Structure 1
Amino acid sequence: MDFDASAKAIIAGVGGKQNIVSLIHCSTRLRFSLSDFDQADLDELKAIDGVLGAVIAGGQCQVIIGNDVVDMFDAVQNELGEVTGQATKGPKQSWGKVVLDFIISVFQPLVPAIAGGGILKALLMLLAMFGWISDSSQTYQILTLVGGAPLYFLPILVAITTAQKLKVNPLVAVSTVGVLILPDLVTMMTKGTQLFGMNVMNVTYSSQVFPAILSVLFYAVMERFFTKYSPKPIRIFFVPMMAMLITAPITLLFLGPLGYVVGEGFVSVILFLNTHLGWVATALLAGALPFMVATGMHKPMIPYVVSTFSTVGKETLYLPASLAHNISESGTCFAIAIRTKDTKMRGVALSAAISALFGITEPALYGVTLQHKRALTSVVIGSVIGGAYVGIVGLAGFTIVGPGLASLPMFVDKSNPANLIHALIGFGLSFVVSFVASLLLWKNETNNEAVKADATTTTSVAAEDLTAPIAGQVLPLSAVPDDVFSQGLIGQGIAVDPSEGRLVAPTDGTIEMVYETKHALGMKTDNGAEILFHIGLDTVQLNGQYFESDVQVGQHVTAGEVLETFDLDKIKAAGYNPITMMVVTNQDNYAVAVDEVTDDQETQSVMNIAKLGV
């Protein structure tokens, strides 16, 4: 692969150097913050050599590379030099995207240091358990301190990443946050101390993240304020002096304790849910991870994991669920490599299987799983069953790293040797279940395509035309800014940019599901096709506000009958995209043909569905 050529193409695909505000990378993705996301051409990016996929999610343009991400990142950085894009340009993003982008930018760079230190400590405990090193030796104790250093100095690391994100002086920001863990000040707080006549709360700030974030956020405001109003000749010392002078006391008296309480509360809520839902929470999270990873929505879990480690020293939800999901991806891909008759697919599946076995799942997700419904089903089955087991036994992870074969020491627990055994059992169970499920479910696409191509001559076909379920601009699913729909993960169909808030039945059928938040419903046509209607993107967050359902589950409806009404203007005003999707979810039994239409065609055919094998 020519990384330099691909790097130039990637830069062009995201809108050019002038459109790039910042660039970071995780274990498999290049993550661009852009001035104008409309300038990013996802189709162009996906066609570049070495690119597995591209999505816009979490306030970033994410280019999925896989195992070569570091080499590609270096090549892109060499081409970019100094990034010149300005975050203030381009369309305004929603607060949700801004916050998500901030969280990812602050926490994502922390993972390598924490993971490296955590694995080192786990390996040392493993060696001690086998008697190959004494845990009372000075060598063991010093190396353990080395492994624990990233967590102890977490406030400093967070101060660096937060300052970089906010584009303020990182050295002054670190100096300000460093006050929180000064040994002399820690001693004073332990004995009880006052500042300006006010008591300073005794908080152990080592390993804490939220106090550092709040402190740097406030410091950024101070730095910009004094930079704006101070004379240029004295800025070099006056700005940092005044910013530190104000920020450090405010942090000690108010922001630090507030951040500590927020962190403790955040972890307590998650632990409460985990305790009361038990293994069900782990199983459900494991089953949802393929979709979360595909859209990058698993990244907001990192703050929870980091906070949990700093509070209780282990994590019992996300990491065990990730183990079940990662290994299920591997098992599925290994099975497909055996079953497929496509030489190219066999090579992709085998490579992806090995990568997933070691905890890197994006090659499997984008190269195999998300492109094949049966593969995705196998992964979900293996993930849920494996997740249920590790949830039942209470598996705990002790460092932040993608669970896989090489990182199994992350489950070493000196006080509970059975924890590693449970991890191995969960590993094997997830692999075997997904492997067997994929062997049974997989069908070579060449056969499916032949059946569909010859359906009119080899089978009796029951076909019907469907009209648009809503007035507006009819669009292909590929135009939907959501990978779950645009990549056909749920099924094939059409989308409509609505011009009015009235959803009608496209044909005769029976209502099978009305979602409690009323933003989605399902019906089965009299011909047996299962159709899902989904009004808007992320509109589930409205909790039913602005929606009114006109039908009930089990009700038979006729073509043109009103199914649901909604306030289009208020949904738009609330910041949600009202684009509405109509997809056939049992498409393995139906040939779906989408008509080429572009105008408002509520009363004309937009899609034909033909049942195969009738």
Structure 2
Amino acid sequence: MNYQELAGQILKHVGGGKNITQLNNCATRLRMNFKDESRVDVEALKKIQGVMGVSKKAGQYHIIIGPDVANVCNAIKKTAHIDTANSPNKSHGKVEQVLDIFASIFTPVIPAITAAGMIKAILVLCVLLGMSKESQGYIIVNFIADAGFYFLPIMLAFSTALKLGCNPYLAAMIGGVLLHPKFAGLVSAGDPVSFLSIPIKLVNYGSSVIPIILAVWFMTYVERFADRISPKPIKFLMKPVLTVLIVAPVTLIVLGPLGSNIGTVIATGTDFLNTHVSWLVPTLMGAFMPLLVLTGMHWSFLPILMTSYTTYGYEAVMGPGSLVSNICQGAASLSVALKTKNKTLKQLAGSAGITALMGITEPAMYGVTLRLKRPLIAVIIGGGTGGFYAGIMGVVRYTSGTPGLLSLPIFIGENPMNIVHACIAAAIGFVVTFILTWILGFEEPEDEFNDTDGQNEKQADHINKKSILSNKSIVYSPIQGEIVALSKVNDETFAKEITGKGVAIAPSGNQVVAPFDGEVVTVFKTKHAIGLRNNDGVELLIHIGIDTVALEGKYFTVHVKDGDAIKKGDLLMTFDKAMIEQEGYDCISPIIVTNTQVYAEVFSVDEGSADAGDRIITVI
């Protein structure tokens, strides 16, 4: 693989390095955030040789590369100057922003945790083969592995600072304060310690997670305060000194103990579940992991996983269930590949099934099980069954890594039977899912589009009759006017369907109404555009005019807000068409399905007139 060439192609289709605000990688994926998502061509990215898939989760784009992802990430960084100091995209909801913060904080440190855990697994094998734990070789390699966990606060300090926008080196220094040998000595001695007559709780912060995140969060405010009050001639000296002298004592006195208590509660809760109902969490995770991944909610478990690794040296919350779930995705896809008579689906399901068994499930989930529906039911049942076995047998994951056949060593630890039971759980999930998928069956792709609604027949004649899957969702016109093919819009981003497929309307009225039942996802600050999601999950962008963002909200009145539930026909927005055109702007309004990539096809009417409420888009 030519990493430099692949990096260049990726940069070309994401709007260049200057459009990237966040860039990191995990075991198989590039994780990217952008200033302007309209410049990201998802379909073009998917066609690049070396890219296995593209998805968007928790407000972040994932470009699946495989084991070479770190080399590709480094090549991108070398090829372009990337400004990663910008704040995250505020257009996402609060939950997505929190999940994005978790992902950005923990993802960069995963390679270190993975390395530490895998070295521990190698040591276990060496001991089984006769190595003495008292030998110098064992001791040296063991403390090399321990370093990845013990100095976790410093690594998390750096990644947290990068995400929250404060100085990462000062943050790392605060992490060093928590781990300093002098403080560790005070903790070991156990004698009372105080600062300015204020008692300091003695806590061992090695391998801790929550305390340093709280400290760096506090530091973002202190650093801004120090910047504001420091005189310009001495700001270079005064700002960092004030920051450290405020943050370090507050962390030792308040935030460190608070974070330690939170970590203790998390660890205690995890230990309680593992001790008293060990089958419950792996069963639920095995069953519902596809839904967690689909919504991005799996990121919310990262603090729990990290706390468990650093407290016990393993975790049983996500690893066992996700292993079974990933194998079940592969089983369902392979069952579909063997049963289907459609050559295209057979090829897609076969390749997706193999990659899912290796731990990369996006092609299987988005391309097969989620689309065909019934195989996803089989995955949920099979995942729950295998997860239940893993739970009652006490299977744990000793280090981070995407669970699959290639990464089974992450289940090697002190208990030699752990990996055996992990393999049995995966096998149970595979067999149950494969058989259920075969029995439940699925709708074969049809040869042509059939308009079963019997409405708007004149408009339906313009819909391209392609091979599609059976389920569909209808988008009705939110605006009265003339329908225009997207390719004729005088804006390359929309015309080339970079943001997704859809249609445009040259408005004759001045109202925008809800095109379906659903919710408001985003009302843009400049009021010229609004993002919606219907009850089937179709995400729609209604963009009034071309380049009207420059009007900064003039001539637009929005009647809804983020999170509002909407019914078809509800008034969303009004705009002054005459004044917008008088300012020199084209009022033609693109209506885009922004998550086009997760559907089999998006069909749209490409000419004629439309009243608000007429069908204009069919999503399959």
1:449 to 446, 450, 456: 446
- Aligned-pair distance for 1:305? 0.3
Q: Does 1:536 align with 2:519?
A: yes
Give the deviation of 1:159 after TM superposition.
Answer: 0.9
Distance 2:133 2:23 in 1: 42
Structure 2: give runs of 5+ residues left out of the alignment. 457-467, 480-515, 523-556, 570-600
In the alignment, which residue of structure 2 is the partner of 1:94? 93
> How many Å apart are 1:309 and its aligned residue?
1.8
Q: Which amino acid aligns with 1:220?
A: T
Paired residues of 1:21 and 1:85 also in contact (CA < 8 A):
yes
- SS state at 2:208 partner: coil
Asked whether the 8 Å contact 2:326–2:356 carries over to 1, the reply is yes
Q: Residue 218 and residue 33 in structure 1: after superposition, are their counterparts in 2 closer, same or farther (change >3 A)?
A: same
Structure 1 residue 48, shift from structure 2 partner: 4.5
2:222 aligned residue: 222
Q: How does 1:394-413 map to 2 (within 5 A)?
A: 394-413=394-413
SS, match of residue 612 in structure 2:
coil
Show the 5 A alignment for 1:491-530: 491-495=471-475
Shift of 1:263: 2.2
Distance change >3 Å, CA 269–CA 120, structure 1 → 2: same
* Partner amino acid, structure 2, of 1:162: T
The verdict on how the C-alpha distance between 1:163 and 1:232 changes in structure 2, with shifts beyond 3 A counting, is same
- Given that residues 19 and 85 in structure 1 are in contact (C-alpha distance below 8 angstroms), is that contact kept between their aligned partners in structure 2? no
Q: What is the deviation of 1:330?
A: 2.7
**Cα 1:580/1:179, change in 2 over 3 Å:** farther
Offset, 1:161:
0.8
> Which position in structure 2 is the counterpart of 1:112?
111
For residue 600 of structure 1, the aligned residue among 587, 612, 617 is 612
| Contact 2:120 2:413 (8 Å CA) reproduced | no
Distance of 2:101 and 2:141 partners within structure 1: 33
Question: Residues of 2 paired with 1:286 and 1:107: CA distance?
Answer: 22
* Structure 2 counterpart SS, 1:407: helix
Work out the CA distance in 1 between the residues paired with 2:253 and 2:378.
Answer: 53
TM-fit CA distance, 1:109: 1.0
The alpha-carbon distance between structure 1 residues 7 and 85, as it changes in their structure 2 partners (threshold 3 A), is farther
Corresponding residue of 1:521: none
The 3 A distance-change label for structure 1 pair 85 and 427 is same
- On the 8 A contact 1:151/1:310 being kept in 2, the answer is yes
Code of the aligned partner of 1:120: I
Q: Please report how far the alpha carbon of residue 22 of structure 1 lies from its aligned counterpart in structure 2 after TM superposition.
A: 1.9
Q: Aligned partners of 1:605, 1:368: CA distance in 2, in Å?
A: 27
When residues 82 and 14 of structure 1 are mapped into structure 2, their CA distance, relative to the original with a 3 A threshold, is closer
The equivalent residue for 2:307 is: 307
What CA distance in whole angstroms lies between the structure 2 residues aligned with 1:81 and 1:19? Answer: 10
8 Å contact 1:36–1:91 — kept in the other structure? no
Cα deviation per residue 1:497-518 (whole Å; 9 max; x = unaligned)? 989xxxxxxxxxxxxxxxxxxx
User: Does 23-32 or 275-284 show the bigger shift?
Assistant: 275-284
What is aligned with 2:283?
Answer: 283
Report 1:457-606 matches (<5 A): 465=454, 491-495=471-475, 535-536=518-519, 572-573=560-561, 575-576=563-564, 578=566, 596=605, 599-601=611-613
8 A contact 1:17–1:85 mirrored in 2: no
TM-score using structure 1 length:
0.71
**Residue 275 of structure 1: CA displacement?**
6.6
SS at match of 1:248: helix
Deviations 1:371-415 (A, max 9, x none): 44344334323212111221232322222222223433333342x
- The equivalent residue for 2:488 is none
Instruction: Give the RMSD, CA atoms, in angstroms.
Output: 4.0
Report the identity percentage: 36
Q: CA deviation at 1:146?
A: 1.8
Secondary structure, counterpart of 1:31 in structure 2? strand
Q: Is the 2:473–2:619 contact (alpha carbons within 8 Å) kept by the matching residues of 1?
A: no
Equivalent residue for 2:131? 133
Q: Aligned ranges for residues 314-393 of structure 1 at < 5 Å?
A: 314-340=314-340, 348-393=348-393
SS in 2 for 1:168: coil
The answer to whether the 8 A contact 1:52-1:367 is kept is no
For residues 354 and 268 of structure 1, what CA distance do their matches in structure 2 show? 38
Q: Which residue of 1 aligns with 2:176?
A: 178
Alpha-carbon distance in structure 1 between the residues aligned to 2:3 and 2:564 = 38
In structure 1, the residue corresponding to 2:446 is in which secondary structure?
Answer: helix
Query: Are 2:191 and 1:191 equivalent residues in the alignment?
Result: yes
Q: Which runs of 5+ in 1 are unaligned?
A: 457-462, 468-487, 500-532, 540-568, 582-591, 610-614
Distance 1:283 1:127, change over 3 A: same
1:496, 1:579 within 8 Å by CA — same for their partners in 2? no
How far 1:102 moved relative to its partner? 1.5
SS at match of 1:125: helix
What SS does the aligned partner of 1:191 have? Answer: coil
Tell me the equivalent position of 2:505.
none
Q: Distance in 2 between matches of 1:577 and 1:69?
A: 40
Worse-matched range after superposition: 95-104 or 332-341: 332-341
**What's 1:103 paired with?**
102
Cα deviation, 1:464-496, whole Å, max 9, x if unaligned, reads: 6589xxxxxxxxxxxxxxxxxxxx999422246
Q: How far apart are the structure 2 equivalents of 1:276 and 1:489?
A: 45
1:242: Cα distance to partner?
2.1
> 2: CA distance between counterparts of 1:250 and 1:17?
38
Distance 2:226 2:280 in 1: 52
1:155, 1:207 within 8 Å by CA — same for their partners in 2?
yes
SS, match of residue 204 in structure 1: coil
Q: CA-to-partner distance for each residue in 1:437-468, whole Å, 9 max, x for gaps? A: 344455694xx425x77x99xxxxxx66589x
Between 1:204-213 and 1:53-62, the stretch displaced more is: 53-62
User: Is residue 333–residue 350 contact of structure 1 (8 Å, CA) maintained in 2?
Assistant: yes
Tell whether the 8 Å contact from 1:13 to 1:40 is kept in structure 2 after alignment. Answer: yes
Do the aligned partners of 2:520 and 2:560 also contact (CA within 8 Å) in 1? no
Distance 1:199 1:605, change over 3 A: closer
Contact 2:477 2:610 in 1 (8 A): no
How far is 1:347 from its partner? Answer: 5.3
1:208 aligned counterpart, secondary structure? coil
How far did 1:50 drift?
4.3
- Specify whether residues 418 and 274 from structure 1 end up closer, same or farther in structure 2 by C-alpha distance, changes over 3 A only: closer
- Deviation, 1:215, is 1.4
Change (3 A) 1:344 1:222: same
Secondary structure of the corresponding residue to residue 107 of structure 2: helix
Q: Per-residue deviation at 1:122?
A: 2.0
Q: Give the distance between the partners of 1:213 and 1:307, measured in 2 at CA.
A: 12
- The yes-or-no answer on 1:234 pairing with 2:217 is no
SS at match of 1:300: helix
User: Deviations along 1:241-298, whole A, 9 cap, x unmatched?
Assistant: 2221111111100111111122223444555567776534322222221233244432
Question: Could you tell me how far apart the structure 2 residues matched to 1:374 and 1:160 are?
Answer: 44
Equivalent runs, 1:37-76 vs 2, <5 Å: 37-76=37-76
Query: Counterparts of 1:379 and 1:278 in 2: how far apart (Å)?
Result: 21
Deviation per residue, 1:97-124 (Å, 9 max, x gap): 3322221111111111111111211232
1:318 deviation in Å? 0.8
Change (3 A) 1:103 1:84: closer
- Listed one character per residue, the Cα deviations across residues 211-250 of structure 1 (whole Å, up to 9, x for unaligned) are 1111122223333333343344534433222221111111
Q: Secondary structure at the match of 1:203?
A: coil
Partner amino acid, structure 2, of 1:535: G
Pairs aligned (count): 504
Residues of 2 paired with 1:397 and 1:197: CA distance? 44
SS at match of 2:31: strand
Kept in 2, the 8 Å contact 1:17–1:84? The answer is no
Note the 1:6-25 alignment, pairs <5 A: 7-8=7-8, 10-25=10-25
